[in-house]
Amino acid sequence: MAHVRDKHTHYESDADSSAGGEPVQDRLARPIRDLRISVTDKCNFRCPYCMPADRYGEGYPFLTRQDLLSFEEIVQLARAFARSGVRKLRLTGGEPLLRRDLSLLVEMLAGIDGIEDLALTTNGMLLKQHAVALRRAGLHRVTVSLDSLDDTAFAAMNGGRGSLGEVLDGIAAAAAAGLDPIKINVVVKRGVNDHTAAGLAEHFRGTGHIVRFIEYMDVGTLNDWRRTEVVPSAEVLGRIAEKFPVEPVDRDYPGEVAERYRYVDGAGEIGFISSVTAPFCGGCTRARLSADGKLFLCLFAKEGHDLRAPLREGADDGALEAVIRAIWGRRTDRYSEMRKNAGTTRGANQKVEMYHMGG
Ligand code: SAM
Ligand code: SF4
Ligand code: SF4
């Protein structure tokens, strides 16, 4: 079909079709290593720090089916990212388990050359029913977001939509399916769930699961973030260490975002992601792909780079790789460091929401 080939010619490349070239580096010499892929912008929770219910009510115009990348399109882009240097993929959203047949996508992604780690971040509500299929499809690990074991604080953190019992069952099912070690992500907000943080650490001591406390961040524009609501990681660590002595653990790899600690008595490990009090932009090797195919270079980016257009115009893997390398090669983002240095939030009204770009 000559007319189709004509349309495609613009994006065809001569590049070698195998993966594994040198990772592209940005202007600050940070290689691209991780890609977070958002598979939907919809969610069954309404965490006030992410998708407050009063702004995301019935009738909110979420992406249409046509807007969303298909599984084939996601896989083609993931291949191009792998050729550019990405070694780790994480599926996220929105709530990724709302995307139908997600295990099929996992299976397709697991087969990509160069991908060493394939993970999923979920709120856990639908995990029980999907854990075995995800594992069989080739998923390596899951991170479950769980902000409190106290019913009132749990409901306050997720907008009253979830069930604590379902999330705990989901974690158990994931562990039984072999999706471990499981990470439990806990956003800590002053006056809402901070009094329950040490209880979470205690609950998961000795299970092999790693609880990670995340400083509440000023992502997006809709959560009315206030610095006074941020609980510095040092404070949470202090409360836990009062009861269970801990010692620091070296980072696993350059670019790891969590500061790690282990219990001195050998009962496991906890982590802290301190993007407000101790930013880690210098080692940030992470790219984000939104469900409609935009590439974001920073969690606090004001805009994304459209990869869906070249994809739908017929770009081949080599051409997409060239586009990705060019975009990443110009990257200079280091928002959290700048926020810390300036002591303020810059351009606060123009950032893209986290559920959209993939948290
Ligand atoms: N729905 C899934 C979930 O909640 O795990 C995946 C998407 S969610 C956007 C990814 C992660 O971002 C979650 O662990 C969530 O707690 C975190 N998150 C969202 N908004 C945040 C904020 N304002 N500050 C810190 N973490 C946030
Ligand atoms: Fe949904 Fe996750 Fe955002 Fe909560 S943090 S609203 S579960 S996408
Ligand atoms: Fe990376 Fe941006 Fe976060 Fe810095 S602020 S660590 S550049 S995502």
Query: What's the CATH fold of domain 2-357?
Result: TIM Barrel (3.20.20)
Cα–Cα distance for residue pair 47/49, rounded to 1 Å: 5
Return the ligand 1 atom nearest residue 92 CA: 6
- Mutation test of ligand 3: which of 26, 34, 332, 334 has the most ligand atoms closer than 8 Å to its C-beta? 334
Q: Is the pLDDT score of 16 beyond 50?
A: no
Instruction: Please give the pLDDT value at position 210.
Output: 97
Residues 55-105 have pLDDT tens digits of 888 889 999 999 999 999 999 999 999 999 999 999 999 999 999 999 999
Please work out whether the CB of residue 271 comes within 6 Å of at least one atom of ligand 2: no
Tens of pLDDT, residue by residue over 108-140, are 999 999 999 999 999 999 999 999 999 999 999
Distance 50 CA to ligand 1 centre (A): 7
Annotate 238-275 with b (16+ C-beta within 10 A) or e (fewer): eebbeebebeeeeeeeebebbbbbebeeebbbbbbbbb
- Return d(Cα 83, Cα 66) in angstroms, integer: 27
Instruction: Note the maximum CA span of the chain.
Output: 72
DSSP bridge partners of 295: 289, 305
Tokens of 176: 């039984």
- Residue 54 pLDDT > 80: yes
Task: Calculate the alpha carbon distances from 252 to 88, 128, 207, 258 in Å.
Answer: 14, 29, 20, 10
pLDDT band at 256 (very low <50, low <70, confident <90, very high): confident
Which pTM does this prediction carry?
0.92
Query: What are the two backbone dihedrals, phi and then psi, of residue 110, each rounded to the nearest 5 degrees?
Result: -65, -20
| 153-181 pLDDT per residue, tens | 999 999 999 899 999 999 999 999 999 99
For residue range 291-308, list pLDDT tens digits in order: 999 999 999 898 999 999
- C-alpha 351 to ligand 3 mean position (Å): 13
Asked whether 45 lines ligand 2 (CB < 6 A), one says: yes
Pairing of strands 259-263, 246-249: antiparallel
